[in-house]
Structure 1
C-alpha cells in the first residue's frame, strides 16, 4: 500500500469519531513518526510505498484512535514548553494552560534577579513537565519534585534525562506528609481538581484513558489538595515565598479564600488565554 491509499483509509476510518481538522493533525504526526516524513514530503510523494511492517503498525494506530486513546499516548511523546516529553497512561498529558503557569513563574523570577539561587518544589509532578520546564529555563535553580506514583516518578526521571536537566524526584503522598524537609522560595502544583460531578463534561479521550487519581476529587471536598498544599507551603516557604497552583475555574474564589484563611498575605487569580480563571499565585 502507498501513502495516498493509506491516507484515504485513515481519514475514512476516523471520520465518524473526529472532525477532519483533528484527523489532519493526527495524520501529520503519524507520517512523521512512522514514515519519517514531514507533511510536505508526504504530499509530494503520495505513491511512496509503505512496508508491510509499518502498515500493520499504522492500522493498530487507527484502531487505538477509534477508541479515543490520546494521540500522545499512542506516539509515546508530546511537546511541552518547547521541550520533548515521554508520556504514557501513568501520567497526565501536559496542557497548554500549564505552560502558562510555568511562564508566569519564570516571568516573576526574572523580575527578582537579585536572588542568586531559587529553591523550587513541584508537588504532584506527573511527567515532570512543570519542574523540567522550569529547570530548562533556570539553570541555577535547585528544583525538587514529588508525586505519589512511583511509575510517574520513573517517567519524570526519563524526561529529565531526555532534556538534560537536574531535578531531584521523590515518591511522596502529599496528603500523608506533615512537613517538608526543606524551605523553598517557590512551591508550585497542578493537583487534582476536577469534581466527580464534572466528569460528564470531560471528553472520552481524557475520561477513559488518563490517570483518574491525577484528575478527580470528590464533590464533598474538592479543595482537599489545595488545603494540604497551602498548609505545607505556609510552613515551608521562606518569607515572601510564593505558591503557584493551577485551579478549577469554577472554584477560583473558594481557593483564593482558602489560602487567605491559611495566612497568605496576597493572592492573585490569573486567567488563561481562553479567559478562564485557571491559576493562583499567593505569597507568604
Structure 2
C-alpha cells in the first residue's frame, strides 16, 4: 500500500476521537520515528510504499491509539525544551507548561557570573526533563535531582546520558526528608498537585496510563508537597536562593499565602500560555 493511501485511512480512523489535526500530527510523528521519513519526503515521493511488516507495526500503533494510549508512550520518546527524552509508564509525559517554568529559571540565571557554580536541586524529577534541561542550558551548574521512584530515576539517568549532561540523581522520599544535606542556589519542583476531586477534568488517556504517584494528592491536604519542600528550602537555600514551583491552577492564592507565611520574599505568581496560574517563584533572604 502507498504511504499516502495509508495516511488517509489512518487519519480517518482517528479523527472522531482526536480531531483531524491531532490525528495528522500522530501520522507524521510515527512516519518520522518508524520510517525515518519527514512530511517533505512524502510530498516529494508520493508513490512511496509501506511493506507488509511496516503495515503491521502501523496497525498495532493505530489500535493502541484507539485505546487512548498516549502517542509518546507508544513511540517511547518525546521532545521537551528542544531535547529528546525517553518516556514510559514510569514517568509523566513532560508538558508545555513545564517548559515555561524551565525557561523562566534559565532566563533569570543565564547571566550568572561564570565564577559562581550554581547548585540546583530538582525535586520529583520523573523523566529528568527539568534537571536535564537546566544542566544543558546553564553552564557552570551542578544539578541534583530527587525522586521516590527507582524506575523513574532509571529513565532519568538514561535521558541524562542521551543529552550529554551530568546530573546527580538521588532516590529519596521528600516527605520523609529532614534536611537536604547541602545548600542550593535554586530549588525547583513540579510535585503531585492534582486533587482527587479534579480527576473528572483529567483526560482518559492521562488517567489510564500516566503514573498516579506523580499526579495526585489527597483533597484534604493538597499542598502537602509544597509545604514540605518550602520548609526544606528555608533550611537549604543559600542567601538570595530561588524557589520555583509548578502549581495547581486553582490554588494560586493559597500558594502565595503559604510562601508569605514562610517568609519568602519577592513572590511571583505567573500564568501559563493558557492563562492559568501555573508557576511561582520566591526568594530566601
Look up the match of 2:61: 61
CA contact (8 A) 2:28 2:39 kept: yes
The aligned runs of 1:1-284 (5 Å cut-off) are 1-113=1-113, 116-284=116-284
CA distance in 2, matches of 1:110, 1:72: 30
Alignment deviations for residues 131-167 of structure 1 (CA, whole Å, 9 cap, x no partner): 0000001121000000010000000000000000010
Moved more, 167-176 or 47-56: 47-56
Give how far 1:16 is off: 2.4
CA contact (8 A) 1:175 1:225 kept: yes
CA contact (8 A) 1:31 1:42 kept: no
Secondary structure at 1:178 match in 2: coil
CA distance in 1, matches of 2:114, 2:8: 58
How many pairs were matched up?
Answer: 284
For normalisation by structure 2, the TM-score amounts to 0.96
CA contact (8 A) 2:114 2:140 kept: no
For normalisation by structure 1, the TM-score amounts to 0.97
Give how far 1:114 is off: 6.8
Moved more, 233-242 or 263-272: 263-272
Alignment deviations for residues 201-255 of structure 1 (CA, whole Å, 9 cap, x no partner): 1111111111111111111110010011110111100111110000011101101
Give how far 1:74 is off: 0.7
Secondary structure at 2:221 match in 1: coil
Structure 2 unmatched ranges of 5 or more = none
Moved more, 219-228 or 267-276: 267-276
Give how far 1:115 is off: 5.8
